[in-house]
Structure 1
Amino acid sequence: MAYSNRELLARLIKCEAGGEGENGMKAVATSIMNRVRVPYGEYHKIGQGDIRKVIYQKGQYDCMRSVLGGVANPQTIWGNPPEQIHYDIADWALAGNRLFPIGYSLWYFNPFAPCPYTFPYNGSGSFQIKMVKHCFYNPTELYAKT
């Protein structure tokens, strides 16, 4: 049976940012929902406002991959059931709330080093803020052309 949108988002929040506290999880949830709501570019074309299409887009979230680098991924949405806090944050994000400092960031990642100024590396995102362990990136003019 397929997960509901709420369940899917709660699982992704836990897997992608479960150890980063409430603000870290809200930041990731904001970025995910920004992809759902962006009115132009790649995510608009692919997702068309559908959270499932955004989450299942190939190659976007490590937690959606059963294999990483040729090895079984121990941290997936299927192996990490959410707790109440993850459902609460999913509900918060699905209701249209956003964490203000994240802005309109479409990307985030944990570089285990200082945040690079651009990400993805094609220059379609520029650094917005570092929140807990993740760097967040707003779309540039280049993204609009994707």
Structure 2
Amino acid sequence: MAYSDRELLARLIECEAGGEGETGMKAVAGVVMNRVHATGGEYARVGQGSIRKIIMQPGQFVCASETEGGAYNQQNIYNMRPEQIHYDIADWAIAGNRIPDVAESLWFYNPFGPRCRSRFPSDVGYWQTRIGDHCFYNPTNAYFST
């Protein structure tokens, strides 16, 4: 489907963080846009400043995948029906706004438990904060060699 960047981001926000409240959705949107504007490493090389390339990069967002583990993934961006809040947050993030706690985070994940790992993934990211069910990670110097 030929969604605009705004539409893709709104759908990803709803899918990845729709149950996390406004702060959680803004945090996830901030990570996507931090990747779009990365000055080095994998996201600068692969994304080349494109929201679409960042969201659709294989293996990055479960919600951007129609299948997971060989089975249909019902919770994907194509099945989302964004509401005005999702578009408002997408617009907010595209305009360059970020939640200070997310800082320059390039990753988030849900540990499905009370603790966030200190490093993620491997040693290219260090723990920054937890917002709702998601842990957020800033890049280490090692990231820029990816």
Q: Secondary structure at the match of 1:108?
A: strand
| Stretch moving more, 65-74 or 55-64 | 65-74
- CA shift, 1:70, in A, is 2.0
Distance in 2 separating the partners of 1:126 and 1:41? 15
Q: Map Cα deviations across residues 16-75 of structure 1 (whole Å, 9 max, x no partner).
A: 000000000000000110000010100000111111111111110000111112221110
Unpaired segments ≥5 residues, structure 2: none
Indicate whether 1:28 and 2:28 are aligned. yes
Distance in 2 separating the partners of 1:17 and 1:57? 19
Distance in 1 separating the partners of 2:2 and 2:72? 22
Matched with 1:18 is 18
CA RMSD of aligned residues (A): 0.7
- CA shift, 1:105, in A, is 0.3
How many residues were matched structurally?
145
Q: Map Cα deviations across residues 85-122 of structure 1 (whole Å, 9 max, x no partner).
A: 0000000001111111001000000011210000002x
What residue identity is the alignment partner of 1:50? S
Distance in 1 separating the partners of 2:21 and 2:55? 21
Distance in 2 separating the partners of 1:60 and 1:132? 20
Indicate whether 1:63 and 2:63 are aligned. yes
- CA shift, 1:80, in A, is 1.1
TM-score, L = length of structure 2: 0.97
User: Identity, % of aligned pairs?
Assistant: 59
* Segments of 4+ moved more than 3 angstroms: none
Distance in 2 separating the partners of 1:59 and 1:108? 13
What residue identity is the alignment partner of 1:92? W
Distance in 2 separating the partners of 1:30 and 1:38? 12
TM-score, L = length of structure 1: 0.97
